Amino acid sequence: MAGVRFIEVGTEEAGQRLDNFLLKHLRKAPRPLIYRIVRKGEVRVNKGRAQVSQRLQTGDVVRVPPVKLADTPERVTPPVAQVPRIEQAILFEDDDLIVINKPPGMAVHGGSGVSWGLIELVRNARPLAKRVELVHRLDRDTSGAIILAKKMSVLRDLHQQVRDHQVTKIYWALVKGQWPKARTKVEQPLRKFNLPSGERRVEVHPAGKPSLSFVRVLADLPNASLLEVKLATGRTHQIRVHCAANGHPIAGDDKYGDAGFDRWQRQQGMTSLALHARLVSFRHPKTGEQVTLTAPLYPDFDKLLMSQRINQKDVT
């Protein structure tokens, strides 16, 4: 087992998340181990404690501790049978990036009890791509458009666009009850906390981070509303908590939802979270052209709306 290493971040690694940086330099380490050593403070950035989601900058010095890998399992290769599922979900692809309509229930990466996720599938399906990295994330139960970069230069450019609010992300959500049409903005600070079990949750709290969602009612159902939500900030569980905190939880939400409303949803044949990343728009880092992509609903969400005589193609 090697000793402590101090690694200076180069220009090619600038903008990368700390967890991805560590996965590169601790090649056989599983993601849960990476999270653990960061959480325990064994990893330092410029001598200070760090977060796995922290973005590294050129010149940062990362303390990488020695880790024992002999007893850790090898990384799991995603099932080959899953690759066609991803191929069919591609919305856009070129030599620089790929945009996928992520299925509901699929994690974006392995870890926390999940051996593989979307990123492992794409890397397995595109072995000739030097680097495939997530530009942003979606909750495991959220479906829809997600961007992955194939080059570090593209990743850095898109991350900068995200920071500059130049990437548009629009979601569809089916919520309980009738959302007031006059309520077009939800501006409530959000704070992360842990339940006694250790499970992560998010709540509206005065000490939380500023969070802003723009909301528009697309359609009214007898006991629900189909909403379009545009994010001005991208906090964890932002749409789910903003909807629930205002008395309109999203259908199928096992963390912030309503049991009675979820029973109605299941009776309509849908068991997954009714939250879908419907549209993403960004400037292509290489061509400069604006790329706008719409992700079709997955069948269970679509069938539920069709049962209420709502055709996704007619919703504007």
Q: Any idea which residues carry the catalytic annotation?
A: 139
Residues sharing a CB contact under 8 Å with residue 123, sequence separation 6 or more, in sequence order: 129, 132
Rounded distance between C-alpha atoms, residue 314 and residue 316, angstroms: 6
Rounded to whole angstroms, the Cα distance separating 223 from 242 reads 19
- For residues 313 and 219, what is the distance between their CA atoms, to the nearest angstrom? 13
Cβ-based neighbours of 196, under 8 Å, separated by 6 or more? none
Please tell me the distance from the alpha carbon of residue 282 to that of residue 224, in angstroms, as a whole number: 31
Bridge partners of residue 250, in order along the sequence: 175
**Cα dihedral 8/13/16/18 (nearest 10):** -30
